[in-house]
Amino acid sequence: MSVLLWAAVMLIGGTGSVLRFFVDGAVSSVAGRDFPTGTLVVNISGSVILGLLTGLALSHDAALLAGTAAVGSYTTFSTWMLETQRLAEERQQRKVLLNVAVSLVLGVTAAALGKLIGAHL
Amino acid sequence: MPSVPGPSVSSTRPAGAAPGKRRILPRADRREIAAIFAGGALGTLARAALSDAFPRSATSWPWPTFAVNITACFLLGYFVTRLQERLPLSSYRRPLVGTGLCGGLSTFSTMQVEIVKMLGAHAWGLAAGYTAASIGAGYIAIHLASAMVRRTRVRQQRVAQ
């Protein structure tokens, strides 16, 4: 493990987080803030890309940089859960169920689809 | 520092800022972006190091992802509740710790790919258990962290009375 590789992990991870901030903000400003659509779009788009990278069967270092560092930092589990918990505090039960179910169904479908496409490239 | 309108300050405005144009990208200053970048870099390093140190097969419980996701939920619940309900508004704490550190530490895409691999290996019970445990524990972590911050505030108010 070289220092350079882990420095690249940090640089790419920081960039992925900044990209998430801009995509989330852009989607939220178009779709409104009643439902956490920004996080949903970030997470689903990230899942399809990580699925694709998984299907490509990259080398260890390439998978670490492109998958774990770039796509891993771009998507977020904690914000998804925070927004779900805050919706529950506001007693918006329908939106709670919708946010969990839609993210999961689309997330697994996107990852599976990406993996399938990646394996055929 | 109050800004004085007039030609003397026009040079301090960002070159691309057109006041009449509808803005889609979020407003962000350089310090905010730097905070997100720094937090995201640290969170990603921690997650990548853990995932690299503990490689696992498709049919085993993904402890590294599970651990970072639940830890990030607890931290995010704690800091967001504290920043929103207790501390004065700050321009860089939320981006640094919330958007950066917790967002970089946790990952949704890796969890989805892990579930797909479990389903591919016909480990149905593991896939269902991992999904339910991640969502359940993540939700509870945020709930507990938020409750902890709020209880501290109530106790301090009682002492003050």
Residues B93-133: pLDDT tens digits?
899 999 999 999 999 999 999 999 999 999 999 999 999 99
Determine whether the interchain pair B104/A17 forms a contact, defined as Cβ–Cβ distance below 8 Å: yes
Q: Does B51 touch chain A (CB under 8 A)?
A: yes
Q: For B41, which of A11, A107, A112 is closest by C-beta distance?
A: A11
Task: Provide the ipTM.
Answer: 0.96
pTM of the model: 0.88
Widest CA span in chain B: 69
Per-run averaged pLDDT (10 residues), chain A, 121 residues: 92 98 95 95 98 96 97 98 97 97 98 97 87
Q: Does B83 touch chain A (CB under 8 A)?
A: no
Give B132: exposed, middle or buried? Use CB within 10 Å, 0-12, 13-18, 19+.
Answer: exposed
Please state, in angstroms and rounded to a whole number, the distance separating the CA atoms of residues B13 and B34: 19
**CB atoms near residue B115 (< 10 Å):** 24
List the structure tokens of A12.
């790419």
Determine whether the interchain pair A115/B113 forms a contact, defined as Cβ–Cβ distance below 8 Å: yes
pLDDT of residue B12: 40
